[in-house]
């Protein structure tokens, strides 16, 4: 079965959860093509804010409840991240919610230089799970810079989804890293990035895209444009590549001190 991924490249209203949930719902509902995965930008409901105490939600909060509604309504896996509160601590928490309500969570491991480290707690566990015959992994923005963390040991995953807020000043870095992670891991890599200007006057142009195991772009959103784009990932092409060029077998084996 192919994966039909609806990549949402959105502008984000600064620290306004309801406005952002409404905008995402509008974009999803306006999509006429079929899809079975929805990928959202990092902190899609608030923007990349340090105002964790005011914005953080528990798993039972508005953002995750709305995501669960979308997953059920559209019979799709919904992936993204939000500002989470758990046990008095704050996390940049990734989620992957299945249509039946099954929930997978991943706390961002590599917190960005500066304020993210001051206000948020890092995670220390990777996420890999199976959904409709595909092995899925998730990383969040800055994680993409660290190949050991995302290493596809023994082909654990078929597709690496990355939810991001990556600024235009480093846009070439984002696009280079997406391709690098896909090639070295013999997997698809799909990233969703925001557009617009955030509350800290940082600008974003998007560049949301899917890259295959050879580093080729198989689908890309238009820069500086709010867009909901369906990109198809082909499982047969992936498996054929791994069979014909099993380079993954020559990778060093190691364990992570996490």
Q: What is the pLDDT of residues 134-147, one digit of tens each?
A: 999 999 999 999 99
Both tokens of 149, joined, read 């963390």
Q: Strands, E, within 154-216: which ranges?
A: 159-163, 188-192, 195-197, 203-205, 209-211
Q: What is the pLDDT of residue 115?
A: 86
Average pLDDT, the chain: 97
Q: State residue 161's pLDDT score.
A: 98
Which pTM value belongs to this model?
A: 0.97
Q: What pLDDT was estimated at residue 46?
A: 98
Distance, in Å, from the CA atom of 133 to the CA atom of 19, rounded to the nearest integer, reads 35
Three-class secondary structure of residue 219 per DSSP: strand
Q: Give the pLDDT of residue 240.
A: 97
Residue 191, pLDDT score: 98
Cβ neighbours around 124 below 10 Å, total: 10
The catalytic residue positions are: 42, 108, 141
Could you give the dihedral angle defined by the CA atoms of residues 226, 145, 51 and 26, in that order, rounded to the nearest 10 degrees?
20
Q: What does the buried/exposed string (b/e) look like for 102-112 if buried means 16 or more CB atoms within 10 Å of the residue's CB?
A: eebbbbbbbbb
Q: Which stretches of the chain drop beneath a pLDDT of 50? A: none
């Amino acid at each position: 079965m192919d994966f039909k991924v609806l990549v949402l490249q959105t502008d984000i209203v600064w620290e306004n959860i309801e406005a952002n949930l409404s905008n995402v719902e509008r974009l999803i509902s306006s999509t006429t093509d079929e899809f079975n995965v929805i990928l959202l930008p990092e902190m899609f409901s608030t923007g990349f804010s340090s105002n964790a105490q005011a914005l953080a939600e528990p798993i039972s909060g508005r953002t995750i409840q709305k995501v669960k509604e979308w997953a059920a309504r559209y019979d799709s896996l919904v992936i993204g991240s939000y500002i989470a509160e758990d046990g008095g601590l704050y996390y940049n928490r990734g989620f992957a919610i299945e249509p039946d309500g099954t929930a997978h969570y991943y706390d961002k491991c590599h917190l960005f230089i500066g304020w993210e480290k001051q206000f948020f707690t890092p995670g220390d566990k990777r996420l890999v799970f199976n959904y409709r015959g595909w092995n899925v992994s998730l990383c969040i923005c800055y994680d993409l810079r660290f190949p050991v963390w995302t290493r596809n040991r023994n082909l654990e995953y078929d597709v690496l989804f990355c939810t991001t807020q990556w600024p235009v000043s480093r846009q070439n870095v984002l696009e280079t890293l997406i391709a690098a992670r896909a090639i070295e891991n013999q997997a698809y890599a799909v990233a969703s990035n925001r557009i617009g200007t955030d509350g800290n006057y940082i600008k974003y142009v998007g560049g949301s895209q899917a890259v295959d195991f050879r580093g080729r772009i198989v689908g890309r959103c238009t820069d500086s444009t709010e867009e909901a784009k369906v990109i198809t990932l082909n499982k047969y092409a992936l498996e054929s590549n791994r069979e014909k060029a099993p380079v993954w077998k020559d990778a060093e084996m190691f364990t992570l001190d996490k």
